[in-house]
Structure 1
């Protein structure tokens, strides 16, 4: 009695091809613009977490969005450092002025960045430490 199948196959078959790697699809320009605007405006609510999450989730899916998210993240980290220093300096009244100036500056610059993003312009914060390049 033969154990070979009738088609002559010895039981060895080629392995099925591996599933195709699903590379992330690039974002459409309107999607990039929307997420870039959100990367500049959401920090009003959740600080540096919004641009960080946007940058990590959409990394490699659009150069414009990646740049804007990194810019916003760098600015938020700079603002966080200034706020900590201002909080420490409140012991010497000057800190209150630092915190007020930082708050007004953040409001103005983030709105300017969001407006630039809505026009699909590459915006760079003027006062920001470049932690992430």
Structure 2
């Protein structure tokens, strides 16, 4: 196992956040992208480990929120919730990627912490 240097670790931390956009191409890619990147690189640095765990928890949380919003389409509020959730998700993924690239910690709001 090789530990990443600071610049490379920041780059991978940014990639783990941005890999959530894989959801535009692959079903559940928003969870699979961060999961795969995190599983491959998780032991190569504490900074990356934290960002990967945070990105994965956020992706799982957003998927749950999207499922609930989809069910609420029946009472017409779900479409609004899905739109707001999409904007919320995109903005915070980009913010997290920028913070990771700057070498700073980032905690997503409204995230259920499945992976401790």
Q: Aligned to 2:63, which of 53, 63, 80?
A: 80
Matched, 1:30 2:7: yes
**What residue number does 2:98 align with?**
115
Higher RCO, 1 or 2 (CA under 8 Å, sep at least 6)? 2
Structure number with bigger Rg? 1
Question: Where does structure 1 lack aligned partners over 5 or more consecutive residues?
Answer: 1-23
- Once the two structures are TM-superposed, the CA of residue 55 in structure 1 deviates from its matched residue by 1.4
The CA deviation string for residues 62-103 of structure 1, in whole angstroms up to 9 with x for no partner, is 000010011000000000000100111111101001101110
Partner Cα separation in structure 2 for residue 112 and residue 43 of structure 1: 13
Q: Which runs of 4+ in 1 moved over 4 A?
A: none
Structure 1 residues 1-133: aligned runs within 5 Å = 24-45=1-22, 46-133=29-116
Bigger proportion of residues as helix: 2
Q: What TM-score, normalized to structure 2? A: 0.91
Q: What do residues 11-32 of structure 1 show as CA deviations (whole Å, max 9, x unaligned)?
A: xxxxxxxxxxxxx111111111
Residue 42 of structure 2 contacts residue 52 of structure 2 at CA under 8 Å; is this kept in 1?
A: no
CA distance in 1, matches of 2:115, 2:44: 17
Q: How many residues align?
A: 110
